């Protein structure tokens, strides 16, 4: 792949109209839209497998797609070169404008690698706009492209998802309105840090049960909250999918209750998805699904990460939830998701970062 990227850099100048001397403007467009440059005669065949990769549904509890694919004719390509997500798809055995364009911008050595079946995907960022991602999928035949894309489907989806998360975090992060005093408090007391926006407040801080609950816009129709829970003196045996469900249900039953104390939050198991992921360089169990009150009066989506801090033998559970009955929830759950990913233990912070944050302690 390193060789491929070297070749790709050589033809970047061919991709950028009026070149690199002009500063790039931020990419525009919907966060969850992928502009697809593909020939109209092949689009139905491409869409069959591309949709399965990128238009996966998540339940929030309404079904929402991770991304939406929008095909654009090659003749209109220049109008869309400033979009956030661009996917170019073709095969070498076709004779159309997209194929000829791809052949013209890829070095002949790379074309040979594609013909030999050694490569089929080229990924690049920030060619025509800032914070933009571009993927070229090209193979010898449709069937070969379909097989290769499905084999690499998780990486293809992750490339767009991670870039989207980076853009969302850049929009969320504002040091002027960051609650650094609260971040410093948790760093000093508990040995961890998480980014806290100004409109989040501390709802619960229970030292005895190692539980912190942060809420935003409570009792509104667009509420978000996150909680951090940890268990000390444990080992990797606790990293189990069933244990995640048990721990979450136990902690939410104890702390996430109605004001009259008659109902509490639990997991709706019928819409539960769990997988093994990399969380900031650590093995983690990722859980995504729906929460609900046990009396079925309300509910919404949640995301949850559980991982082990091996230096302290401490199990962390990071959880983000949304209650937004009137609005689409996919973008809101993505916001709490990227907030959770800002979590760092003290051992992951430099001394300079720690000293700078602790200055905000009141």
* Tokens 């969850």, residue located: 32
Q: How far is Cα of residue 344 from the mean position of the Cα atoms in its chain?
A: 17
pLDDT per residue over 327-357, tens digit each? 889 999 999 999 999 999 999 999 999 999 9
What is the C-alpha separation between 183 and 194, in angstroms, rounded?
6
Contact at 8 Å (CB) between 252 and 265? yes
Kindly report, as residue ranges, where domains of CATH 3.40.1000.10 are found in the chain.
Answer: 174-358
More confident residue, 325 or 338: 338
pLDDT per residue over 59-116, tens digit each? 888 889 999 999 999 999 999 999 999 999 999 999 999 999 999 999 889 999 999 9
> How many helical (H) and strand (E) elements, i.e. helices and strands, does the chain have?
11, 16
Q: Please give the pLDDT value at position 22.
A: 58
Structure-token pair, residue 130: 């800032």
Sign of CA dihedral 305, 215, 64, 271: positive
Q: Please give the pLDDT value at position 61.
A: 87
pLDDT per residue over 148-160, tens digit each? 999 999 999 999 9
Instruction: Dump strand ranges (E) for 6-67.
Output: 33-37, 57-59, 63-65
pLDDT per residue over 81-96, tens digit each? 999 999 999 999 999 9
What is the C-alpha separation between 97 and 183, in angstroms, rounded?
54
DSSP state at residue 322: E
Does CATH place domain 174-358 in 3.40.1000.10?
Answer: yes
Average pLDDT value for the chain? 92
CATH class of 2-171: alpha beta
Question: With 90 as the cut, is the pLDDT of residue 130 above it?
Answer: yes
Kindly report, as residue ranges, where domains of CATH 3.30.379 are found in the chain.
Answer: 2-171
Contact at 8 Å (CB) between 343 and 280? yes
DSSP string across 59-122: ESSSEEES-EEEEE-GGGGGGGTTBSEEEEEEETT--SHHHHHHHHHS-HHHHHHHHTTS--EE
Q: How many CB atoms lie within 10 A of CB 185?
A: 20
Percent of the chain scored above 90 by pLDDT?
Answer: 84
Structure-token pair, residue 342: 């800002």
Q: Which residue in 224, 229, 245 sits closest to 334, CA to CA?
A: 224
Who contacts 266 (Cβ-Cβ below 8 Å, separation ≥6)? 249, 252, 253, 291, 292, 293, 294
């Amino acid at each position: 792949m390193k060789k491929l990227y070297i070749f790709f850099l050589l033809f970047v100048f061919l991709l950028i109209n009026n070149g690199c001397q002009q500063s790039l403007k931020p990419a525009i467009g919907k966060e969850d839209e992928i502009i697809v440059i593909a020939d109209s005669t092949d689009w139905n065949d491409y869409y069959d497998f591309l949709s399965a990769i990128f238009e996966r549904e998540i339940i929030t509890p309404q079904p929402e797609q991770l991304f939406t694919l929008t095909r654009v004719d090659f003749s209109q390509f220049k109008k869309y070169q400033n979009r956030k997500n661009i996917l170019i798809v073709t095969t070498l055995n076709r004779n159309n404008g997209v194929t000829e364009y791809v052949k013209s911008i890829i070095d002949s050595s790379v074309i040979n690698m594609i013909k030999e079946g050694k490569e089929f995907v080229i990924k690049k960022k920030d060619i025509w706009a800032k914070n933009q991602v571009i993927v070229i999928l090209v193979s010898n035949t449709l069937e070969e492209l379909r097989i290769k894309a499905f084999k690499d489907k998780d990486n293809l989806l992750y490339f767009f998802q991670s870039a989207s998360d980076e853009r969302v975090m850049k929009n969320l992060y504002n040091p002027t309105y960051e609650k650094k005093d609260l971040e410093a408090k948790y760093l000093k007391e508990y040995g961890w840090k998480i980014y806290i926006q100004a409109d989040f407040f501390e709802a619960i801080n229970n030292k005895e049960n190692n539980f912190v609950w942060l809420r935003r816009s409570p009792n509104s129709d667009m509420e978000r909250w996150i909680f951090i829970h940890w268990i000390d003196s444990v080992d990797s045996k606790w990293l189990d999918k069933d244990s995640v469900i048990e721990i979450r249900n136990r902690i939410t039953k104890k702390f996430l209750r109605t004001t009259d104390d008659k109902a509490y939050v639990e997991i709706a198991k019928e819409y539960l998805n769990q997988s093994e992921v990399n969380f900031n360089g650590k093995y983690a169990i990722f859980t995504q699904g729906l929460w609900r009150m046990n009396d079925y009066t309300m509910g919404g989506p949640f995301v949850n990460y559980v991982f082990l801090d091996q230096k302290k033998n401490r199990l962390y559970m990071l959880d983000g939830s949304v209650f937004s009955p009137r609005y689409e929830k996919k973008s809101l759950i993505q916001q709490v998701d990227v907030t959770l990913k800002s979590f760092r233990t003290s051992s992951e912070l430099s001394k300079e970062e720690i000293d700078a944050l602790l200055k905000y302690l009141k």
